[in-house]
Chain A
Amino acid sequence: MPLLENGQVTQDRWYMAAEGEALPDGAVIVPLARLEEGLARAGDAPLGVIIAPDVDVAALRAALPRLELVAVTFPSFRDGRAFTQARALREHLGFTGEIRATGTPLPDQYEFLLRCGVTTVQTERTEDVSVWQQAHTIISIAYQPSTLHERPQGLGLRRFLS
């Protein structure tokens, strides 16, 4: 499926570097094991990193100022660790760049992803983009704080989404 941002299809300017392949020029996402190599690359081409769900995002602290993108992974939609990683990147590490969800999250998880700080989704799933767009708008009210700091509704913990 194409890259999604705010429920809309968007152009992907990033290249995902594979194992053992020389790093190209331009915007490239490297696996965590190749982060040092990416950081040592000449010039100031945009750099991103992809992490597995068992990674403590604090390990990215030193590199984060030089990263424009962190990709988190859903090896299965049942594995919700990436929600906590995304939220920690935003709240604890102050990361303001792109957080990309990869792997196989469900469209039904789209609002959860956004509220935890994810900005783009690049899923291996195949359903029509309209299913994701609908999942983005079907619920308009939430009952807890999130990284998006939505407008409080006035009673209790409630707030309006979007």
Chain B
Amino acid sequence: MSTDTTTLPVGRYAYDQVDRTFLSQRVAQFREQVARRVAGDLSEDEFKPLRLMNGLYLQLHAYMLRVAVPYGMMGSDQMRALAHIARTYDRDYGHFTTRQNMQFNWIRLEDTPDILELLARVDMHAIQTSGNCIRNVTCDEFAGAAADELLDPRIHAEILRQWSTLHPEFSFLPRKFKIAISGSPHDRVAARFHDIGLVARPGPQGRPVFDVFVGGGLGRTPIIGVKLRDNLPEEDLVAYLEAIVRVYNAYGRRDNMYKARIKILVQALGVEAFREKVDAEFALMNRADYRLDPAIVAGIRARFGIPPLEAPADADRTLAAARRTDPAFDRWVRTNTHPHRHEGFICAVISVKPDGGIPGDITADQMDLVADLADSHSFGEIRVTHMQNVVLGHVRKDQLHELWQKLVAARLATPNIGLVGDIIACPGLDYCALANARSIPIAQKLSARFANPELQERIGPLNINISGCINACGHHHAGHIGILGVDKRGQEFFQLTLGGSAGGDVAIGQILGPALPEDETVDAIARLIDTYLVLRHDNEQFLDTYRRLGAASFKDAVYAPA
């Protein structure tokens, strides 16, 4: 076993020959499944769950391939492979999703085995990015780098990725199943909006323990997850998750797909009865079979490359000087960076949301540039965020100005992280077969309307989330301002929800009133934000103003313009 972590790729689990053999077998298996479909030996009904487990959807106009970016971590080599796929098999761009994956929207079924083979060459895949199985595990985008982190969650995210990969018992669950893991006291993974949310921290003797939340989710029935277990010891992590998913597999509803998620089961049984069932299963298990031995964890940890963090002593002063002389850079540093655990480094967030752009869309050339910048400025490591942006996790402070200048040249330096322009939007009716309305044009209009960075900063932290249908892929319930597309007699209307939050102060947004016609929606939101600016106390954030005053203060602005 290699323990020389300095020669391994930084930030992600390094594959060896066994992992690569598995991936090539998986590609061969899918190639064979496609052949059986083409030959008519598999019906579309039978083929569907098989292709979904390889990330392949049939959308409105074409097949869509969702490539896994496990817990959001990838290397520059992998990003270049995605750029190549975008150029060769798609229309020169890709799309980052809220599950930290990348989607290609214009894929041909016949090309898919070849694309999966290209991905496998850089240790990537599309396994379980869809289907009624345990999906790609998500994680804090600043994992292993953030100053506020208590425990690096990527090691356990990788363990859960491996554990859930082709899990024999849990590959045909009642519905999809999503797990998120955080190692920071500041929840950046929306732990309580997941089927299982894990919050890790060091416990006795420094060994990790986990708080386990279960039964959260958005969609048609938004529910905040409940805490099922405090201080779960690391060695029981796999056993306890097996117990939860077993109870779900046995008792989850299968008669109605809209009531099949674990959140419905938890609500139907009640938390206490659900916990009793999980505890009973856990007590029956031969825990030795499922024990996560410290040696297993150490073996996986040893496959993660660790960046040699060395910065000049005056890196901080060099950055401060650059900020004083360049106000635009100073603004970007304020909005688009996050404190690093090393004083000479900083995490840089690359906004994939230019003014008037499509949230999360990135061109092949931009992908290549991000790969180059990761090589020159962040040890070749790239992170995808659940906000559909990109992070370079370990940038030397004295080199941040140079990095920013290169981003400016590539239109990747929009200073809007956490602000009005940092909109989450689903693909909507432009691509999605389920949608009732187009999300992208609303996002583009809002983004263009609030393009002024001074105005955005004055408005302050404000999350706008847009979903094109009730399935809530844009997480509108969790937005400070949520926008839900609805269809009214063939016309696109948009319903507003206010007060949602995915963070530690988790909340489900409340519907403000009747849905608005498409051409009035952006103006109404602009009036709503103007009203907030008038009503707020000094520098009060939108969410706090809303919580202090309630919905009534904003209704007039939206429905009865002066």
Chain B residues positioned under 8 Å from A79 (CB to CB): 172, 254
B534 CB–A CB distance under 8 Å: no
**Cβ contact within 8 Å between A84 and B250:** yes
Interchain CB contact under 8 A, A143 and B172: no
Whether B163 and A157, one on each chain, are in contact in the complex, defined by CB atoms closer than 8 angstroms, is: yes
CB–CB A157/B159 < 8 A? yes
| Cα distance, A143 to B172, chains bound together (Å) | 17
Alpha-carbon gap, A131 to B16, bound state (A) = 29
Q: Measured between alpha carbons, how far is A86 from B240 in the docked complex, in Å?
A: 19
Query: Is A116 at the interface (CB under 8 A from chain B)?
Result: yes
Contacting B290 at CB < 8 Å: which of A85, A141, A142, A145?
A145
Measured in the bound complex, the distance between the Cα atoms of B525 and A25 in whole Å is: 77
Whether A155 touches B21, Cβ cut-off 8 Å, given contacts A106-B46, A139-B26, is: no
Establish whether residues A139 and B166, one from each chain, have CB atoms under 8 Å apart when the complex forms: yes
Of the candidate stretches A7-15, A29-37, A40-48, A107-115, the one touching chain B is A107-115
Proximity bits, A104-141, B CB within 8 Å = 1, else 0: 00101101111110000000000100010010001111
**B84-92, B281-289, B376-384, B452-460: which lies at the A interface?**
B281-289
Tally of contact residues, B, Cβ under 8 A: 45
Given known contacts A155-B300, A156-B300, A144 and B172 CB-to-CB distance under 8 angstroms = no
Q: How far is the CB of B1 from chain A (nearest CB, A)?
A: 6
Nearest CB on A from B206, distance (A): 21
Query: Do B171 and A77 touch (CB < 8 A)?
Result: no
B29 on the A face (CB < 8 A): yes
Asked whether, in the complex, the Cβ of B171 is within 8 Å of the Cβ of A112, the reply is yes
Closest-by-CB residue of A relative to B23 is: A141
What's the Cα separation between A140 and B23 when bound, in Å? Answer: 11
Is A96 in the interface zone, CB < 8 Å from B?
Answer: no
Which of chain B's residues have a CB closer than 8 A to the CB of A108?
Answer: 29, 33, 50
Contact with A along B156-171 (1 / 0, CB 8 A): 0001001111111111
From known contacts A78-B132, A139-B22, A157-B162, infer whether A112 and B32 are also in contact, taking CB-CB under 8 Å.
Answer: no
- Is A154 engaged at the interface, CB distance under 8 Å to the other chain? yes
Q: Which residues of the other chain, A, contact B290 by a CB distance below 8 angstroms?
A: 145
CB <8 Å contact, B22 and A141: yes
Cβ of B285 and Cβ of A112 under 8 Å apart?
A: no
The answer to whether A77 and B46 touch (CB under 8 A), given A138-B28, A139-B26, A146-B168, is yes
Secondary structure of the B contact surface, majority rule: helix
On whether the beta carbons of A155 and B173 are closer than 8 Å, the reply is no
Contact of A80 among B21, B165, B169, B286 (CB under 8 A): B169
For A86, the closest partner residue in chain B by CB is B169
Residues of B within 8 A of A116 (CB): 168-169
If the complex has contacts A157-B159, A157-B163, are A84 and B41 also in contact, measured as CB distance less than 8 A?
no
Q: Are A144 and B162 in contact (CB under 8 A)?
A: yes
Is residue A92 contacting chain B, with contact meaning CB distance below 8 A?
Answer: yes
Is B36 close to A, CB under 8 A? yes
Residue pair A91, B285 in contact (C-beta under 8 Å): yes
Q: Which residues of chain A are within 8 angstroms of B299 by Cβ–Cβ distance?
A: 154-156
| Closest Cβ–Cβ distance, residue B201 to chain A (whole Å) | 22
Q: Are A138 and B166 in contact (CB under 8 A)?
A: no
In this assembly, does B249 line the interface, its C-beta being within 8 Å of a C-beta of chain A?
yes
Q: Is the CB of B300 within 8 A of A139?
A: no
Evaluate whether A156 and B33 lie within 8 angstroms (CB atoms) in the complex, with A91-B285, A140-B21 already known. Answer: no
Contact of A131 among B36, B164, B171 (CB under 8 A): B36
B residues 1-28 near A (Cβ < 8 Å) are 1, 16, 18-19, 21-22, 25-26, 28
Q: A108 CA to B133 CA in the complex, in Å? A: 15
User: Would A155 and B168 be within 8 Å (CB), given that A138-B25, A138-B29 are in contact?
Assistant: no
Cβ B169 vs Cβ A87 within 8 A: yes
A157 partner residues in chain B, CB cutoff 8 A: 159, 162-163, 238, 296
**B-chain residues with CB within 8 Å of residue A134 when the two chains form the complex:** 32
Task: Say yes or no: is A83 at the interface (Cβ < 8 Å to chain B).
Answer: yes
Interface residue B246 (Cβ < 8 Å from any Cβ of A): yes
Q: Does B503 contact A (CB under 8 A)?
A: no
Q: Are B162 and A143 in contact (CB under 8 A)?
A: yes
| In the bound complex, CA of A153 to CA of B299 (Å) | 12
User: B49: CB under 8 A from chain A?
Assistant: yes
- Asked if A66 is at the interface (CB within 8 A of a chain B CB), the reply is no
Q: Bound state CA distance, A108 and B46, in angstroms?
A: 10
A66 to chain B, nearest CB (A): 22
Chain A residue with the shortest CB-CB distance to B296: A156
Q: How far is the CA of A111 from the CA of B169 in the complex (A)?
A: 10
Q: What is the chain B residue whose CB lies nearest that of A148? A: B168
List 27 A-B residue pairs with CB atoms under 8 Å apart, sorted by A's residue number: A77-B49, A79-B254, A80-B173, A81-B249, A81-B250, A85-B250, A87-B246, A112-B168, A112-B169, A114-B168, A116-B168, A134-B32, A138-B29, A138-B32, A139-B26, A139-B166, A141-B25, A142-B168, A143-B22, A143-B163, A143-B166, A144-B164, A144-B168, A153-B18, A155-B1, A157-B296, A158-B162
What 9 A-B pairs come out closest when comparing CB atoms?
Answer: A80-B172, A115-B168, A112-B168, A143-B162, A141-B22, A83-B169, A156-B300, A84-B249, A92-B284
Q: A143-B166, A144-B168, A155-B16 are in contact. List 18 more A-B contacts (CB 8 A).
A: A77-B172, A78-B254, A80-B172, A85-B250, A91-B284, A108-B29, A111-B168, A112-B166, A112-B168, A115-B168, A116-B168, A138-B32, A139-B29, A143-B162, A144-B163, A144-B165, A144-B238, A156-B296
